[in-house]
Amino acid sequence: MTDFHIGRLTVIGVGLIGGSLALALRDAGVVDDIVGAGRSIENLETALELEIVDRYCLDPVEAVQGADLVFLSTPVQTFGTLAGQLLPAMKPGSILTDGGSVKGDVIRQIEPLLPPGIAFVPGHPIAGTENSGATAAFSSLYRDKRCILTPTPSTPAAALETVRRMWQVAGSEVVVMGVEKHDRILAAISHLPHMIAYTLVNAVGSYDRFEENILEYSAGGFRDFTRIASSDPTMWRDIALTNREALLEMMERYESFLAELKEDIRSGEGQKLYDFFLKSKLLRDAIL
């Protein structure tokens, strides 16, 4: 049992991230009413059928009226426009939070728009799959995962604690972190791997030395490595553009290591190759 409670939760973007949060809170019995909003009536109907939401609105402004907490779960480049529409309709004392993978740009978009009495708590659950839409949502997505919150000097302590408790109830370990640190860490551990996966699929898929599509021969290693290239292109376009500086820094770092590996292969440096692969193996094994 928990003393945490949300009267009305509004989820803007009822897909994997927003839908899974709604299901986790519903399963925990801490929310009375869940309202969904989004552009696709088909997806919202699915969310209603799956009991992710209690009702839905195509108009997000209507959806946030009377909400105690509003969760933004749409592509990050939409946040500024949405916040401009939603904040004037939110009731005094309510909280706006989000699940965006980039925090600096999101904060720059939203904080200047905040009216008195409305709190904004920037957040990012470190969880997901390559699937999207309401059918991809499941209540255990956040269990034993981390959620990073990046409050600013204007974030009220009480609102921060409410959002912290929400993610803990959903099963997450909550970490509070500075905005720049978040964006640079995520550029390294999430955004860069997605860029590499997308690039690898395009590189192999465009290989035309033979008539057939050689992707048809891909086995477990290739499929496992490139799984995240099945992720939502709109979401990742927005992440690449809004975390551009940190992502480019990590891409350049990756390119320097790839160039080193390429030269060792070209030169037939067996010991250097072994050392390179061994170092990578030890670092990777330490994660598990």
Query: What does DSSP assign to residue 175?
Result: E
- Rounded to the nearest 5 percent, the helix, strand and coil shares of the chain are 55, 15, 30
Of 6, 5, 23, residue with least CA distance to 14: 23
pLDDT for 70 equals: 98
Q: pTM (2 decimals)?
A: 0.88
Q: What is the mean pLDDT of each run of 10 residues along the chain (288 residues)?
A: 87 96 97 96 96 96 97 94 96 97 95 97 92 94 96 97 98 97 95 95 88 82 90 92 96 97 96 96 92
Domains of the chain, each with CATH number or no CATH: 6-177 (3.40.50.720), 181-287 (1.10.3660.10)
User: What is the structure's pLDDT at 1?
Assistant: 45
Alpha-carbon gap, residue 204 to 217, rounded angstroms: 11
> How many whole angstroms separate alpha carbon 63 and alpha carbon 47?
15
